[in-house]
């Protein structure tokens, strides 16, 4: 899928998948990821939690998936991919403010990883667009 244009998908009302190609590489422990060195050193415990969160999200259990990702973040709080995944999940759930905050946190940790920074920017833009739209509807 490449980098998902989150803003376009949200605008079209499409479901955002938190497990897109942008962040899928971070799931495998020990994987070589040129754009996300922090994700290449994922601990085995975090790898298990990522797989669990993915299956929970795919089964429609978003809150359980979020709790699982938060548990992974307690183990690896400086992993920008975990923050990104939680941001995308929250965006999918309609928590626009929270999604933007989480994407910004991921950006602080991502340094110069362009694909991750781009994905976070798309989350932030989509969240802002939805917030603006809901404020205009009020």
Residuewise pLDDT in 10s, the chain (138 residues): 333 334 333 443 444 444 543 344 333 323 222 233 344 568 999 999 999 999 999 999 999 999 999 999 999 999 999 999 999 999 999 999 999 999 999 999 998 899 999 999 999 999 999 999 989 987
Q: How far, in Å, CA of 92 to CA of 41, rounded?
A: 27
Pick the CATH number of 38-137 from 1.10.3720.10, 3.40.50.300, 1.25.40.10, 3.50.50.60: 1.25.40.10
When computed from its CA atoms, the radius of gyration of the chain, rounded to whole angstroms, is 14
Domains of the chain, by residue range, sit at 38-137
Residues 110, 80 contacting (CB under 8 angstroms): yes
How much is the pLDDT for 7?
38
Q: Quickly list H helices, 59-113.
A: 62-75, 80-93, 96-110
Confidence (pTM) = 0.74
Which distant-in-sequence residues (6+ apart) come within 8 Å of 91 by Cβ? Answer: 6, 10, 16, 99, 123, 126, 127
């Amino acid at each position: 899928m490449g980098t998902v244009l989150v803003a376009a998908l949200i605008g079209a009302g499409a479901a955002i998948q938190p497990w897109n190609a942008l962040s899928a590489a971070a799931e495998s422990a020990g994987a070589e990821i040129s754009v996300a060195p922090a994700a290449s050193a994922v601990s085995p415990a975090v790898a298990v939690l990522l797989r669990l969160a993915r299956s929970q999200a795919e089964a429609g259990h978003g809150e359980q998936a979020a709790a699982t990702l938060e548990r992974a973040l307690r183990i690896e709080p400086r992993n920008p991919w975990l923050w990104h995944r939680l941001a995308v999940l929250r965006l999918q759930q309609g928590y626009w403010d929270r999604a933007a905050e989480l994407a910004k946190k991921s950006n602080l940790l991502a340094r110069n990883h362009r694909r991750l920074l781009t994905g976070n920017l798309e989350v932030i833009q989509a969240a802002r667009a939805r917030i603006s739209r809901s404020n205009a509807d009020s």
